[in-house]
Amino acid sequence: MIPKTINCKGKLIDLSTPKVMGILNLTPDSFYDGNTLHSNNDILNRVDKMLNEGATFIDVGGYSSRPNASHISVTEEINRVLPIVELLAKEFPEILLSIDTFRSEVAKAALNAGACMVNDISAGNLDPSMFDTIAQHQVPYIMMHMPGNPQTMQKHTSSYQNIIVDLKLFFAKKLATLNALKVNDVLIDVGFGFGKTNKQNYTLLHHLDLFNDLDLPIVTGISRKSMLYKPLNVSPAEALNATTAAHTIALLKGSQILRVHDVKEAIETIQIVQLTKNAKAE
């Protein structure tokens, strides 16, 4: 059975009903909402809105991972995220903060400042100290699949033998290492848009249910991504309807956390899917 709870700050979060993770980008060059938060007040208002709309987690990121994004130093990333983690932990004492980073130094700083989860786009590949850091802090760990790094990932789209089999093997090997380190709460993210063509992205979405075999909660980060807006010839700002459609598919395939820009709409999508599932079970 897929784990139904994860432990954040000593609180058991029940995933039998899917949850929403709100995105808080502190980068100036994110593909959708970069450079929109200009003050601490802007950040507090954004987070307050997401929490009021029903977000269970807030994912704080200071390194843009979109294709061809600019590389920044560890120091710059820490300087971006640490004051905000401290601010949010102070202003919202019950908040469940995830730190979106592939660097163990950033993860440590954020966890010590009040974060309670790590969301790593590289599943430990870009920092060999990450797994030890997770084991030391015993926090939930989202490991995402991405070949290469944000600057090179799109050069690896032809490297798959069978993308479903390859990713399941990838996660299984990572899980074995984490199990040996006695990490309790591991979640997976197939990495839509990270080193995948559009066809590969849709293959993953169509077969997302096959990853339930790993008995790990599935996190889906598909909100307003290019796999949705490019086929429709619209902009990321116009991709909310497509995002809702993709979220519906992901939920029906077993996703337990949606990582989103638009919390209210994601919560409503979960509610409708749950009503449908419950009706089917009667």
What are the residue numbers of the active site?
225, 259
Q: What residue spans of the chain are helical by DSSP H?
A: 40-53, 74-91, 104-113, 130-137, 163-180, 198-206, 226-229, 240-252, 263-281
Cα gap 214→240, rounded to integer Å = 30
Single out the residue of 188, 190, 210, 209 nearest to residue 200, CA to CA.
190
Cα gap 16→24, rounded to integer Å = 25
End-to-end CA distance of the chain: 21
C-alpha count within 13 angstroms, C-beta hemisphere, residue 8? 23
Q: Judge whether 3 and 217 are in contact, CB under 8 Å.
A: yes
